[in-house]
Amino acid sequence: MRSVDVHRSAALALGAPLPPVIVPLLESVGCVLAEEVTAAWPLPSFDNTSMDGYAVRAGDLAGASESTPVTLRVIDDVAAGHLPSRAVEPGCAVRIMTGARMPQGADAVVPVEWTDAGTDVVSSARGPELGAHVRLRGEDVREGDALIPAGTVVTSRQIALLAAAGRGEVSVHPRPRVAVLSTGDELVEPGQPLDEGRIADSNSFMLMAAVLEAGGVPHRAGPVPDDEDALRIALEREAARSDLIISTGGVSMGAYDTVKAVLSQTGSVDFVKVAMQPGMPQGLGRVGSVPIITLPGNPVSAYVSFEIFVRPLIRRLRGCAWVDRARVDAVCGRAFTSPAGKTQFARVTIEADDRGVIAFPEGAQGSHILGGLARAHALAVIPPEVTRVDEGDPRGLIDLSPDD
Ligand code: AMP
Ligand code: MG
């Protein structure tokens, strides 16, 4: 049997970051930057006011107080997006709105709230410090500064900086197109009535969502019946339009395990047993040049296998700097057993108290128990040599909360 780590490395080795493309700014959301973006100009790019008020020479107002207000002559009026037409001479002020360029000669801004808001002359009972309420050119970003390193996932915050720095387009690794192909004669569309012996195709919906959550672009390519010709046709079609194919079902030892039957003939997919629970039967390789990971059919096995093998590969194709989920240190809240010789990925709920994070195993751990999977917050990773976890034992958890 193959270890989880060996199979995971084999899965990661199937792909590399997809070649960069240049996209309009908004299309880069959720993609990974393929370039280091540098500032073409400083931010702010000119000295401007952070308050509505009056641009003044601070020295003119040095003695201003309630009993001795200072009156200045208002010589100009500047709104954001417009330029001052006059320099501020001693005894003068320029009425100015937030974001407008500072006029020559002024070295501070008096907020309108401190004044009588006059338009010909203005009186202030308070003087600003030198430089008060002035946003200086380059105080945020200097020209030529590295704004965002390559490898960063673009979110709203990076978009703001890119837009401010004047980038209308940016070079990113595209999000991988992932075909989700479920197999099985028993599968029915969710929402349709179930004949005796049939079940809803929950896996392909789960995996579509999981691909989206992992930052891929999924398309649903099933369900395909347990028929070798139908599967061959589906695989060929998906290989032509995908960066990665994931299938579920048909990889164990049964008589109608078509995925294994069809892909074993091509010789480019290895079917192996991985020492894990759930998720022992696994396969990976290529259809033509396109990577494929064949997941087991049992829903919890399919989910855990996706987490451990597929999600890291999707993140690698995306060009992410790191491919793993955050690990959380926890202690076990209730004893449970684990199979010898296999890594167990136990579904756990978590609570926090003064001991830190406490993990409670979800009751039944069978590979068909979808209720427990939906309730779980995390997977507790129990190594092959551990057969019993006691209350209070420290455990590393894979946190399943959504991230970037
Ligand atoms: P298989 O590996 O094809 O033998 O499937 C193992 C188990 O998973 C069987 O109980 C299947 O009915 C179930 N299963 C397979 N594919 C799906 C699917 N797409 N959605 C839900 N359950 C499935
Ligand atoms: Mg099947």
Q: What is the mean pLDDT of the chain?
A: 95
Instruction: Tell me which ligand sits closest to the C-alpha of residue 295.
Output: 1
Measured in Å, residue 35 CA sits from the centre of ligand 2 at: 44
The answer, yes or no, to whether residue 355 has pLDDT greater than 90, is: no
Closest atom of ligand 1 to 251 CA is 2
Ligand 1, atom 3, lies closest to the CA of 249
Q: Which of 186, 231, 373 to mutate to test the pocket of ligand 1 (most atoms within 8 A of CB)?
A: 186
Residue nearest to atom 6 of ligand 1 (CA): 297
Q: Kindly give, in sequence order, each residue whose CB lies less than 8 Å from that of residue 232, ignoring residues fewer than 6 positions away.
A: 262
Task: Supply the residue whose CA is at minimum distance from atom 23 of ligand 1.
Answer: 297
Q: Rounded to the nearest whole angstrom, what is the distance from the C-alpha of residue 191 to the centroid of ligand 1?
A: 18
pLDDT tier, 256 (very low <50, low <70, confident <90, very high otherwise) = confident
The binding-site residues of ligand 1, defined as CB within 6 angstroms of any ligand atom, are 182, 184, 186-187, 199, 201-204, 248-252, 254, 296-299
Residues 179-223: tens digit of each pLDDT: 999 999 999 999 999 989 999 999 999 999 999 999 999 999 989
Q: Give me the mean pLDDT over the 32-53 stretch.
A: 96
Ligand 2 center–CA 249 separation, angstroms: 5
pTM for the full model? 0.87
Pairing of strands 327-332, 394-399: antiparallel
Q: In ligand 1, which atom is closest to the CA atom of 204?
A: 19
Residue nearest to atom 17 of ligand 1 (CA): 297
More confident site: 257 or 98: 98
Ligand 1 center to residue 254 CA distance, Å?
A: 12
Q: What percent of the chain has pLDDT over 90?
A: 92
Q: Best of 192, 205, 248, 294 to mutate for ligand 1, by most ligand atoms within 8 A of CB?
A: 248
Distance 299 CA to ligand 2 centre (A): 11
| Cβ 233 vs Cβ 224: under 8 Å | no
pLDDT at 404: 45
CA–centroid distance, residue 247 to ligand 2 (Å): 11
Q: Say if residue 402 is preceded by a cis peptide, omega within 30 of 0.
A: no
Q: How far is the CA of 309 from the centre of ligand 2 (A)?
A: 20
CA of 125 to the centre of ligand 2 (A): 82
Write out pLDDT tens, residues 306-341.
999 999 999 999 999 899 998 999 999 999 999 999
Amino acid at residue number 95: R
- From the CA of 247, which ligand is nearest? 1
Q: What is the pLDDT of residues 83-138, one digit of tens each?
A: 999 999 999 999 999 999 999 999 999 999 999 999 999 999 999 999 999 999 99
DSSP collapsed to 3 states, the chain: CECHHHHHHHHHCCCCCCCCEEEEHHHHCCCEECCCEECCCCECCCCEECCCEEEECHHHHCCCCCCCCEEEEEEEEECCCCCCCCCCCCCEEEEECCCCECCCCCCEEEEHHHECCCCCEEEECCCCCCCCCEECCCCCECCCCEEECCCCECCHHHHHHHHHCCCCEEEEECCCEEEEEEECCCEECCCCCCCCCCEECHHHHHHHHHHHHCCCEEEECCCECCCHHHHHHHHHHHHCCCCEEEEECCCCCCCCCHHHHHHHHHCCEEEEEECEECCCEEEEEEECCEEEEEECCCHHHHHHHHHHHHHHHHHHHHCCCCCCCCEEEEEECCCEECCCCCEEEEEEEEEEECCEEEEEECCCCCCCCHHHHHHCCEEEEECCCCCEECCCCEEEEEECCCCC
